Structure 1
Amino acid sequence: MRVFFRRSRRRRRSVLWPTCYRSAAYDPLWPWQVRGRRFRSTPLGRRGLDPHEVGEFLDRVAGDLAAVYDALARSRRETDRVKDALRRWQSEQAQARRAVLDQESRR
């Protein structure tokens, strides 16, 4: 029964952007999540990862993710700007065409 409720909760999650085609169960990784991730230290005398190296790597990954998300936001803003310009141009062309047709019909 718990599995059913977990799955239904996943389905209700909102999609990141309207044009995102990933499933609702997919959670994108954000820079703050990478920076906040901590690993358990290994017990004394056992092999493990150096926490300092792991932290440096996570900071590097978080920086790369931040750069990617910034570039994505810039490209979306540019796309919106181009779409708006195209809509304005199409409206101007339609108005000009209507004006020409009106003048021709008056003759």
Structure 2
Amino acid sequence: MSRSTRYDGSGLHPRHVRDHHFATVGFGRRGLDPAEVRRFLHRVALDLTMLHQDLALLSAENARVKRALRAWHGAGPNGRRP
């Protein structure tokens, strides 16, 4: 994933989901505007996708750093294992 597509915190925040209000349909019809609901759900899905991708990248990086730290910690003072 390129740096420009990573979730940078400017996307959807939980409060946006919690506080979002959909417009009602006019002309004597009742209910919500289906197109607006679909657009909002697509936006939520996109942000969730980016968050899941970032979580996977961070988990892989965390595992790599832990392995490197264990290898470094196991080395002696001159960089060799005892």
Q: TM-score, structure 2 length as denominator?
A: 0.61
Post-superposition Cα deviations, 1:39-63, rounded to whole Å, max 9, x if no partner, equal: 333765xxxxx81101011111111
Aligned length: 71
How far apart, CA to CA, are the structure 2 residues paired with 1:65 and 1:98? 45
2:1 equivalent to 1:37: no
2:59 equivalent to 1:92: no
8 A contact 2:25–2:33 mirrored in 1: no
Aligned-pair RMSD on alpha carbons?
3.3
8 A contact 2:22–2:33 mirrored in 1: yes
How far the C-alpha of 1:74 sits from its partner, in A, is 1.0
How far apart, CA to CA, are the structure 1 residues paired with 2:71 and 2:22? 55
Question: Counterpart in 1 of 2:63?
Answer: 81
How far the C-alpha of 1:33 sits from its partner, in A, is 3.4
- By relative contact order (CA 8 Å, sep 6+), the higher-ranking structure is 2
Post-superposition Cα deviations, 1:16-72, rounded to whole Å, max 9, x if no partner, equal: xxxxxx8xxx8752368348622333765xxxxx81101011111111111111111
Bigger radius of gyration: 1
How far apart, CA to CA, are the structure 1 residues paired with 2:60 and 2:67? 11
- Kindly report structure 1 stretches of 4+ aligned residues shifted beyond 4 Å: none
| Percent pairwise identity | 11
How far apart, CA to CA, are the structure 1 residues paired with 2:64 and 2:81? 24
Q: Secondary structure at the match of 1:94?
A: coil
